[in-house]
Amino acid sequence: MLVLQATFNRAQVAFVSYPEGKLFPVTRDTNNYFNLSVASDGHTFTTVLSQAHIDLYLIAAGATSTQASQLTFGAPVDNLSWVPNGQIILAEDGRLDLLNPDSKVKTPLLTQQISWAGSPSSCSNGRVAFSAQPSGENHLNIWSVDASGGNLKQITAGKLDDSPECSSRGVLYQDAELQLMKVPVEGGASQKVSEYTVFSRIAASPGAKLAAFSSYRLGDPKEKLAVVSLDAAQTPKLLEMEKPRESAFPDSRVRFARDGKAVVYSVRTGNADNLWLQPLDGAPGHQITDFKSELIRDFDWSPDGRKIAILRGHIDSDVVLIRDSQVISINVAPASSRVLAIAGLEQKAIKRGGVTGHVRRKKLKRDTTT
């Protein structure tokens, strides 16, 4: 049986024997794979290979897209958080790095105990909260660390705790049941904050009075904006999203504006993602960036509010044909039938994919060797 094996930073193809349930990796690379289709001979399958090309850009608040400057090149960046000292924490390929935006020098934030880390959020007390998989473990929890990389500490103990957001009232996060939870930044008992399910990164307002995130009402497929009081002073409510997000990244960011009176999220405008500001009082919103291409993965304001750091880029997708060039038999148990596994792989692109935003496509290249 072929399956898509999802890890915390990528999806790979694996072979699972039946009925023993032993797993054998088929792909081992930095790509993502989606949608498997196996040929009738059992030795060939097609899948969609996906490669993200996401880099960090800086732009002054209110400036045009032509004034944006690119700071990173190469390895895709998943998330970011701007630290009060002016550095930017980047989550890339399962690690956290500190980037000096002036010198563009990167230094590792974590050097111990963690095999995968992501979703960083800078706290006002100098700590950084993030989701992490400890070495040798298969669960995801919220951890915190000093901005210098010291005093690493696990602060939650669930099976799948993710998407932390620091606030003066503690660290907000999403648990395995998609519930909004809160835990002290130094650790302790977690508390459930809201009945609304969480379908995006979580935002905390300045002053930590409100939390906002994407959610859904039961029986309604239309995405809503959940606004929840963190001090129980206001009734939680679901608002209409003024613009559909339609993001290529399901967990894309919702953030509060600097004054706390509006939320900001990415929307699709033509062939580009741009940031949309939606006031919470129902007043008409407006677009605050004017990019002409690419997707937006994440964004954050500088501590003084004068600049916006934005993760932008595109996703290239290829339909690939993979077949075993050497089929070997594995005797998985004396009493069971012998199971075929893929020992050597031949991989060919049969459709060069190509998605910049959602639009770039190329013609099918036929595979003439089968």
Positive or negative: CA dihedral 176, 179, 180, 185: negative
Whether 173 and 142 have beta carbons less than 8 Å apart is answered as yes
Q: What is the pLDDT of residue 1?
A: 53
Tokens of 285: 């919103």
Q: What is the pLDDT of residue 201?
A: 93
Residue ranges in the chain whose pLDDT is less than 70: 1-9, 233, 250, 324-370
Site of tokens 């010198």: 103
Tokens of 9: 């930073």
- Summarised one tens digit per residue, pLDDT across range 185-225 is 989 999 999 999 999 999 999 989 999 999 999 889 999 99
Kindly provide the residue ranges of all beta strands, DSSP E only, lying in 155-209, ordered along the sequence: 162-167, 170-174, 179-183, 191-197, 203-204
Q: What is the pLDDT of residue 253?
A: 87
Q: What is the pLDDT of residue 359?
A: 28
Q: Which of 86-114 are b and which e, b meaning 16 or more Cβ less than 10 Å from the residue's Cβ? A: ebbbbbbebbbbbbebeeeebeebbeeeb
Q: What is the pLDDT of residue 233?
A: 65
The dihedral region occupied by 10, where left means phi > 0, alpha psi between -120 and 50, and beta the remainder, is beta
Whether 357 and 273 have beta carbons less than 8 Å apart is answered as yes
Q: How far apart are CA 52 and CA 1, in angstroms?
A: 27
Task: Catalogue all structural domains in the chain, each as residue range(s) with its CATH number.
Answer: 2-50+316-351 (no CATH), 51-315 (2.120.10.30)
Omega within 30 of 0 (cis) for the link into 184: no
Q: How far apart are CA 322 and CA 324, in angstroms?
A: 7
